């Protein structure tokens, strides 16, 4: 007997894997860094105050990035679980197309 994977479970796993890859992590960290710098130095774009801090934000941004990614994954898992079956199947097919470079 051949076991067929549940499309919602497969979709959740693929979304999680895509969010946990290095590129997604780098992109979220870059955005969080920019937001943090703007919060600390709101007038820096006007040439006022100090320049953006170097390593001062590295550790807090890393922790925030991890928390943001895990929160996003949990919410997307909940979203996938709430989607109607045809939508899940369509999204699963899009994931496969992306994996194989199909259009």
pLDDT by residue (tens digit) across 58-83?
888 889 999 999 999 999 999 999 99
Question: DSSP 3-state helix, strand, coil percentages of the chain (rounded to 5)?
Answer: 75, 0, 25
Q: Looking at the domain assignment, is residue 64 inside a domain?
A: yes
Q: Looking at the domain assignment, is residue 2 inside a domain?
A: no
Nearest to 27 by CA among 37, 19, 38: 19
Q: How many structural domains is the chain composed of?
A: 1
Q: Looking at the domain assignment, is residue 56 inside a domain?
A: yes
pLDDT by residue (tens digit) across 39-64?
887 777 676 666 656 677 888 888 99
Residue positions counted in the chain: 103
pTM: 0.72
For residue 25, the enclosing domain spans 7-100
From the CB of residue 88, how many other CB atoms can be counted at a distance below 10 Å? Answer: 20
Q: Looking at the domain assignment, is residue 75 inside a domain?
A: yes
Q: Looking at the domain assignment, is residue 1 inside a domain?
A: no
Under a CB-based contact definition with an 8 Å cutoff, are residues 77 and 69 in contact? no
């Amino acid at each position: 007997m051949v076991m067929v994977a549940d499309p919602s479970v497969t979709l959740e796993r693929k979304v999680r894997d895509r969010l946990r890859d290095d590129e997604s992590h780098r992109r979220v960290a870059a955005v969080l860094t920019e937001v943090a710098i703007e919060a600390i130095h709101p007038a820096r774009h006007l040439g006022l105050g100090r320049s953006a801090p170097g390593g001062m934000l590295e550790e807090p941004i890393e922790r925030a990035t991890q928390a943001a990614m895990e929160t996003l994954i949990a919410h997307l898992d909940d979203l996938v679980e709430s989607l109607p079956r045809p939508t899940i199947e369509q999204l699963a097919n899009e994931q496969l197309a992306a994996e194989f470079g199909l259009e």
